[in-house]
């Protein structure tokens, strides 16, 4: 089985540009998570979806960040406008049942905002 | 979620067992112990989890003390590819227990 798929794997953009990160969860999983990892703050949960519905977005840094899950097999994390402090590795994870089952992580998107 | 304490770093010789400790003295009765690892430039990888009994899978063994205040992850025959940051996470199940709180973990370096 394919694991969690993320694209792009690397993104370099200039401050002020819109950035869209994409995630395809493992087939059959109904929970999806977006995490961000930086040296300073480690791994942080940004948002959690269950059955395509956002359940907890308290980790989203500010209004510049938005996430959608239009269907069970696709999610996006958008940053508009991007800032240098958004530079980080963004991970998507999925699980069969978010509060119980194991979370499986994708390879991440390494974002650099110049 | 209960807080965990892990050593910052450990070394292990290739082919030997790697024993990674974790203290979670404030764990509550319905909280599980999870172990993940993160190899450089990769996403976190699930290893194993347990509640009170010792667990073993194809990757590792998890030994949880009887009082559940600490645990040890054992990689029986460490290889160079096991070099990674290992995270011990305590998490309840059900309700609002969807969040995995990653600490700083233990950097395990397997030496040839």
CB B94 to CB A33 under 8 A?
no
The pLDDT of residue B2 is above 70: no
Span A46-71, mean pLDDT?
94
Q: Residue B66: which residues within 8 A CB-CB, separation 6 or more?
A: none
Give CA–CA dist A95/A45, Å, rounded.
Answer: 14
Nearest chain A CA: its distance from B91 CA (Å): 9
Check: CB of residue B32 under 8 Å from CB of residue B91.
yes
What are the DSSP calls for chain B, one per residue? ----B--SEEEEETTS-EEEEEE-TT--TTPEEEEEEE-TTS--EEEEEESSS-EE-SS-EEEE-TTSSEEEEEETT--GGG-EEEEEEEE--STTTT-------EEEEEE-
Closest CA to A48 of A3, A10, A95, A111: A95
Q: Count CB neighbours of B43 within 10 A.
A: 22
pLDDT digits (tens, 9 = 90+) for A5-23: 999 999 999 999 999 999 9
CB A100 to CB B99 under 8 A?
no
Selecting from A42, A91, A98 the residue whose C-beta is nearest the C-beta of B43 gives: A91
Mean pLDDT of chain A: 94
Nearest chain A CA: its distance from B99 CA (Å): 7
Question: What pLDDT shows up at residue A98?
Answer: 66
Q: Per DSSP, what are the bridge partners of residue A109? A: A90
The pLDDT of residue B104 is above 70: yes
Span A72-78, mean pLDDT?
97
Chain B residue numbers touching A45 (CB-CB < 8 A): 99-100
What's the Cα-to-Cα distance from A101 to each of B93, B97, B98, rounded to whole Å?
A: 8, 10, 9
The pLDDT of residue A61 is above 90: no
The pLDDT of residue B97 is above 90: no
Chain A residue numbers touching B99 (CB-CB < 8 A): 45, 48, 56
Q: Residue A18: which residues within 8 A CB-CB, separation 6 or more?
A: A78, A79, A80, A81, A82
The pLDDT of residue A105 is above 70: yes
Chain B residue numbers touching A107 (CB-CB < 8 A): 42-43
The pLDDT of residue B1 is above 80: no
pLDDT digits (tens, 9 = 90+) for B39-95: 998 999 999 999 998 999 999 999 999 999 999 999 999 999 999 999 999 988 776
A25 touches chain B (CB under 8 A): no
What's the Cα-to-Cα distance from B18 to each of B30, B34, B39, B88, rounded to whole Å?
A: 28, 17, 16, 15
Give CA–CA dist A88/A106, Å, rounded.
Answer: 15
Span B22-40, mean pLDDT?
93
Residue of A nearest to B30 (CA): A100
Check: CB of residue A6 under 8 Å from CB of residue B42.
no
Give CA–CA dist A102/B55, Å, rounded.
Answer: 15
């Amino acid at each position: 089985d394919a694991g969690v798929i993320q694209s792009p794997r690397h993104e370099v953009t200039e401050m002020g540009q819109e950035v869209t990160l994409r995630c395809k969860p493992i087939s059959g999983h109904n929970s999806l998570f977006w995490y961000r990892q930086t040296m300073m703050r480690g791994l942080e949960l940004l948002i959690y979806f269950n059955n395509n519905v956002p359940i907890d977005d308290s980790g989203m840094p500010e209004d510049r960040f938005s996430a959608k899950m239009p269907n069970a097999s696709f999610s996006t994390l958008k940053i508009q406008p991007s800032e240098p402090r958004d530079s980080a590795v963004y991970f998507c994870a999925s699980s069969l049942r978010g509060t119980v089952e194991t979370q499986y992580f994708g390879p991440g998107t390494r974002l650099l905002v110049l | 979620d209960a807080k965990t304490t892990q050593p910052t770093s450990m070394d292990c010789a290739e082919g030997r067992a790697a024993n990674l400790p974790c203290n979670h003295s404030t764990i509550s009765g319905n909280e599980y112990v999870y172990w993940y690892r993160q190899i450089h430039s990769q996403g976190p990888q699930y290893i194993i989890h347990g509640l009170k009994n010792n667990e073993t899978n194809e990757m590792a063994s998890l030994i949880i003390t009887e009082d559940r205040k600490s645990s040890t992850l054992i990689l029986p025959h460490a290889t160079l590819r096991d070099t990674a940051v290992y995270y011990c996470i305590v998490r309840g199940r059900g309700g609002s227990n969807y969040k995995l709180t990653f600490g700083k973990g233990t950097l395990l370096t397997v030496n040839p």
